[in-house]
Chain A
Amino acid sequence: MQRIGVFICWCGSNIGGVVDVPAVAREAAKFHGVVYSAEYKYMCSEPGQEMIVSAIKEHRLTGVVVASCSPTLHEITFRKNIARAGLNPYMLEMANIREQCSWVHQHEPEKATQKAIELVRRAVAKAGKLEPLFESAIPVTKRALIIGGGIAGIQAALDIADAGNEVIIVEREPTIGGKMVLLDKTFPTLDCSACISTPKMVSAAQHPNIKIYTYAEVEEVKGYIGNFSVVVKQKARSVNSKCTGCGICWAKCPTKNIPNEFDLGMSMRKAIYVPFPQAVPNRPVIDRERCRQFVKGKCGVCQKFCPTGAIDYEQGDEFVTENVGAILAATGYDLIDWTKIYGEYGYGKYPDVVTGLHFERMVNASGPTGGKILRPSDGEQPKTVVFVKCVGSRDEAKGREYCSRACCMYTAKHAHQVLEKIPGSQVVIFYIDVRCAGKAYEEFYLKTLHEGAIYTRGRVSKIYPEGNHLIVKGADTLLGRPVEVVADMVVLATAMIPSAGSADVARTVGFTVDKDGFFQEAHPKLRPVETNTGGVFLAGACQGPKDIPDTVAQASGAAAKIIGLLSHSEIAGEPTIARVNEAICSGCLACQGICPYRAIEPKEIVERLPGKQVTRVVASVNSGLCQGCGACTVACRPGALNLKGFTNEQLLSEVDALCQ
Chain B
Amino acid sequence: MSIENESQENWQPKIVGICCRWCTYAGADLAGISRMNYPTTVRVIRVPCSGRVNPQFIIRALQQGADGVFVSGCHPGDCHYSSGNYHARRRLQVLKKLLEFVGLEPERFQFYWISGSEGAKFAETMKKIDEQIKKLGPNKKLKRSNVFKQGDRPA
Instruction: Give residues in A with beta carbon < 8 Å to B.
Output: 70-72, 96, 98-101, 103-108, 111-112, 114-115, 118-119, 122, 512, 520, 522-523, 532, 576, 594, 596-597, 627-631, 633-635, 643, 646, 648, 651-652, 654-656, 658-660
Contacts and interface: CB of A to CB of B under 8 A. Distances in A.
B60 A631 contact: no
Contacts of B21: 72
B46 A71 contact: yes
Contact of B65 (A71, A105, A659): A659
Interface in B19-41: 21, 25-26, 28-29, 31-33, 35-38, 40
B19 to A, nearest CB: 10
Nearest to A119: B43
Contact of B29 (A70, A114, A522, A628): A70
Given A104-B38, A596-B81, A630-B51, A654 B45 contact: yes
B64 A634 contact: no
A648 B83 contact: no
Nearest to B59: A655
B48 A630 contact: yes
Contact of A108 (B40, B54, B87): B40
A633 B52 contact: yes
Given A72-B26, A659-B65, A651 B82 contact: no
A631 B28 CA distance: 22
Interface in B63-92: 64-66, 78, 80-84, 87, 91
28 contacts: A70-B32, A72-B25, A96-B44, A99-B33, A100-B28, A101-B32, A105-B37, A111-B12, A111-B40, A523-B78, A532-B81, A596-B83, A629-B52, A630-B49, A631-B52, A634-B51, A634-B54, A634-B91, A648-B54, A648-B56, A655-B16, A655-B61, A655-B66, A656-B60, A658-B66, A659-B16, A659-B61, A659-B65
A-B pairs with lowest CB-CB distance, top 5: A630-B52, A99-B32, A659-B64, A631-B51, A629-B81
A106 B55 CA distance: 34
Given A115-B43, A122-B43, A656-B64, A104 B91 contact: no
B133 interface: no
A631 B82 CA distance: 11
A103 B47 contact: no
A630 B40 CA distance: 29
B129 interface: no
B11 interface: no
Interface of B: 12, 14, 16, 21, 25-26, 28-29, 31-33, 35-38, 40, 43-49, 51-57, 60-61, 64-66, 78, 80-84, 87, 91, 123
A576 B47 CA distance: 11
User: Which of B48, B55, B61, B80 has the most chain A CB atoms closer than 10 A to its own CB?
Assistant: B48
A291 B53 CA distance: 61
B48 A643 contact: yes
A658 B43 contact: yes
Contacts of A114: 40
Contacts of B55: 634
Nearest to A511: B82
B116 to A, nearest CB: 10
A38 to B, nearest CB: 23
A512 B82 CA distance: 9
A98 B28 CA distance: 11
A655 B54 contact: no
Given A104-B35, A115-B40, A634-B87, A629 B48 contact: yes
A601 to B, nearest CB: 18
Given A630-B47, A630-B48, A634-B55, 5 more contacts: A522-B82, A532-B82, A629-B80, A631-B49, A659-B14
A259 B26 CA distance: 58
Identify the interface centre among B60, B81, B123: most chain A CB within 10 Å of its CB: B81
Interface centre among B16, B32, B61, B123 (most CB of A within 10 A): B32
Given A576-B48, A656-B60, A658-B66, A106 B37 contact: yes
Contacts of A596: 81-84
B31 A104 contact: yes
B70 to A, nearest CB: 13
Contacts of B26: 72
B130 to A, nearest CB: 12
Contacts of A112: 40
Contact of A99 (B12, B29, B78): B29
Contacts of A630: 47-49, 51-52, 84
A99 B123 CA distance: 12
B64 to A, nearest CB: 4
A417 to B, nearest CB: 40
Contacts of A652: 56-57, 60
Contact of B45 (A104, A105, A107, A122): A122
B53 A634 contact: yes
A27 to B, nearest CB: 15
Given A631-B51, A656-B60, A659-B66, A651 B45 contact: yes
Given A72-B29, A655-B61, A631 B66 contact: no
A103 B33 contact: yes
A110 to B, nearest CB: 9
Contacts of B36: 104
Contacts of B37: 104-107
Contacts of A659: 14, 16, 61, 64-66
Contacts of B54: 633-634, 648, 651
A627 B47 CA distance: 13
Contacts of B65: 659-660
Contacts of A658: 14, 16, 43, 45, 61, 66
